[in-house]
Chains A and B, each alone.
Chain A
Amino acid sequence: MSRPRSALLLVGSPRGARSTSASLGGYLLERLAGQGVTASARFVEDLPSAATQDHGLPAAARAADLLIASFPLYVDALPAPVTRAMEAIAAGRLQDRATGGRRDFVAMVNCGFPEAQQAEVALAICRRFAAAAGFCWLGGLAMGLGGTLGGRPLGQGDGRFGHVEEGLDLAAAALARGEAVPERAVRLLARPIVPPARFVAMGNRYWSAKAAARGIQDRLRDRPYQR
């Protein structure tokens, strides 16, 4: 096992620092820093393909011993700019593969649904990226009902997310040793804070309330493109 000296977090949410992806990634990064890993973060931007390559992000990703991607599940997969960034990282990595040592990759997905397994395809895509880009795949974590965290920082004593923090603590300890995220960490993050049946009612009330706050509750089911 090779212990990483540096870690780079890529936050793949367009909500940036206010996102649940940043909350999850930031907590993991703090725990890694606490174990002597030099930690930094960058936000994935919506850039054209050529600009992504020139932006410095691919080079920074290749320079880190441990690369962490944290992103929301969009339409069952990675948000488009994350795919673009990964393509740029892989393209550059192929050029300097001969000079690089071992570098690790781990992915974290904020899944809006209670069933974290809905992110299974997204994590499989991440695993393929790792192979294509020359990273050692150290596993993937998917948080069920990530939206309930709402971009708030972890580690603030909110007991509802204690299992998430415990899972990330376990993951950070393993990653700092150069090991794959343990199965228990995967299971802890996957556990939603409310059961699916209860979530449906709660979630639907949430959206109705959001619309009511804007005075458009009667328009939520509009069909502007009706045939």
Chain B
Amino acid sequence: MHALLLNGATRDGGYLDSVERHLEAALTGAGWETDRVVLRRSKMAACRGCFGCWIATPGICVIDDDAREVARLMVKSDLLVGLTPVVFGGYSADFKKALDRSIGNILPFFIRQAGEVVHARRYPYEWRLAGIGLQERADPDEADLFRRLVARNARNFQCSRAGATVLVETDPWGKAAAELTRLLEEMGVGV
């Protein structure tokens, strides 16, 4: 099994970098292979909204930068773990940019699912999504919005499992570690 850790933290050496190292060790210990991408160090333009990844070079973004490799790693992975500061209840711009640039991994075609129109899957693989948000101070409403966003992404990406947690920088590390263990177990990672 393979996991991709996508780190959308805005600064080096912060809390999310510790979370990333903890997760990598836990996943490795559980027998998973991992790839890690620190998005703030990546060269990645924003999506141009050209739909070239659907109708010019199907499955591959027309912009040749690091987003292509991130999209490839997403397909390679059974589990995507997104790490991001919680920004207005959503993702950091760096993390969102990677997601925006990954739409070539789905098809332009539409299907109806659970009462809503979504895009059909390009790849047949089972895919799990775990979102880990970080707040400077506890804000339950913002945390709830973050979880709703992850759930909404999981619905549109048709993930087989999805979950989210929001950590608070001031919480003791033991509490965070327990929460990460719970999230990995929810994703089917035996830790």
Contacts and interface: CB of A to CB of B under 8 A. Distances in A.
Given A14-B49, A121-B149, A200-B111, A132 B88 contact: yes
Contacts of A76: 149, 152-153, 156
Closest 8 CB pairs of A and B: A80-B97, A46-B46, A225-B75, A128-B88, A84-B93, A207-B108, A80-B96, A224-B59
A76 B147 CA distance: 13
Contact of A75 (B76, B103, B125): B103
Contacts of B59: 222-225
B92 A83 contact: yes
* Residue among A87, A204, A225 having the largest count of chain B Cβ atoms under 10 Å: A225
Interface stretch (A35-43, A60-68, A160-168, A211-219): A211-219
Given A220-B107, A222-B59, A80 B75 contact: no
Contacts of A72: 49
A162 B189 CA distance: 52
Contacts of A90: 88
Interface stretch (A93-101, A112-120, A169-177, A179-187): A112-120
Given A83-B90, A124-B89, A211 B55 contact: yes
B47 A74 contact: yes
A46 B45 CA distance: 7
A162 B1 CA distance: 52
A22 B1 CA distance: 44
Interface of A: 13-15, 19, 46, 49, 72, 74-81, 83-84, 86-87, 90, 113-115, 118, 121, 124-126, 128-129, 132, 196-197, 199-200, 203-204, 207, 210-211, 214, 216, 219-227
Nearest to A202: B110
Nearest to B101: A80
Contacts of A197: 112
Contacts of B116: 113, 115, 118, 196
A225 B71 contact: yes
Interface string B24-60: 0000000000000000000001111101001110111
A129 B88 contact: yes
Given A115-B117, A222-B59, A204 B75 contact: no
A74 B91 CA distance: 12
B169 interface: no
